[in-house]
């Protein structure tokens, strides 16, 4: 595990930064990707000499392609790609605009799709690789009305993850595609949501970014396909859909 090269998008803060620092502390090389140069450089400095900071907007395919090229130029290979970019939105479903939906899909779905597609040729060539997509409990249970478009985007990401895995493993079983679903995480996610929103750090039933990072590290080691970051979450999801079925 300590020799792996791991690309992490959304690495300038929150879950991405915590994951980068944890993996670097375990001897892995990390490629840190985000739009905010100053914050990204600070995280890279904490990760040490085996970190590469790459400023890019992964909601644009050509920039994801550049990240792949820069990672290979520096390290010669990639072993894990963590799609961690995401942004919330605070707007009821009846009020969503075309622009709202387009931006949420670009940041939460297209960014992951570009990562999966652009790293895939390299993984196929080396016969192994691992994509980890960071989703959300809102991608399982749409319990926050103001997060309507975000819930939809994460549901889309979950389906995309499962179908991408099924397709790739038909011919390349050494390539894994995993999904990680955290609850509310104590980061600036809520404050950074489109149209503003409640501070995620003040909401109940939350986890720290470090707790989620520890689960991501475990998924790299175990290569499990579908993982929740909090005990009991799977039962909560099953209970929600059982109740929906009873109502129907």
Q: Max alpha carbon distance in the chain (Å)? A: 57
**What's CA 8's distance to the chain center, in Å?**
8
Closest to 118 (Cα-Cα) out of 61, 35, 178: 61
Phi and psi angles of residue 129, each rounded to the nearest 5 degrees, phi first: 165, 170
Give dist(CA 212, CA 101) in Å, integer: 27
Give dist(CA 30, CA 7) in Å, integer: 6
- Tallying the residues shown for the chain, one arrives at 248
Q: Kindly name the residue from 114, 150, 228, 240 that is annotated as catalytic.
A: 150
Closest to 86 (Cα-Cα) out of 59, 116, 68, 60: 59
Alpha helices in 76-228 (DSSP H): 98-105, 111-126, 148-171, 209-222
Answer yes or no: 241 catalytic: no
Please give the positions annotated as active site.
150
């Amino acid at each position: 595990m300590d020799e792996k090269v791991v690309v992490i998008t959304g690495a300038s803060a929150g879950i991405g930064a915590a994951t980068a620092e944890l993996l670097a502390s375990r001897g892995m090389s990390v490629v840190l990707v985000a739009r905010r140069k100053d914050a990204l450089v600070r995280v890279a400095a904490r990760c040490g000499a085996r970190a590469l900071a790459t400023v890019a907007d992964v909601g644009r395919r050509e920039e994801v392609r550049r990240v792949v090229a820069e990672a290979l130029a520096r390290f010669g290979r990639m072993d894990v790609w963590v799609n961690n970019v995401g942004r919330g939105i605070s707007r009821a479903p009846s009020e969503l605009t075309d622009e709202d939906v387009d931006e949420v899909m670009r940041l939460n779905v297209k960014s992951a799709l570009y990562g999966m597609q652009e790293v895939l040729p390299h993984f196929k060539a080396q016969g192994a690789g691992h994509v980890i997509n960071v989703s959300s409990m809102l991608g399982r249970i749409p319990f926050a009305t103001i997060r309507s478009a975000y819930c939809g985007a994460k549901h889309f990401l979950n389906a995309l993850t499962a179908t991408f895995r099924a397709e790739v493993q038909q011919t390349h079983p050494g390539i894994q595609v995993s999904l990680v679903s955290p609850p509310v995480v104590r980061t600036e996610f809520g404050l950074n949501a489109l149209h503003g929103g409640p501070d995620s750090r003040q909401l109940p039933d939350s986890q720290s970014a470090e707790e989620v990072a520890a689960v991501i590290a475990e998924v790299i080691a175990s290569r499990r396909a579908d993982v929740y970051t909090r005990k009991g979450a799977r039962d909560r999801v099953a209970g929600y859909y059982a109740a929906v079925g009873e109502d129907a």
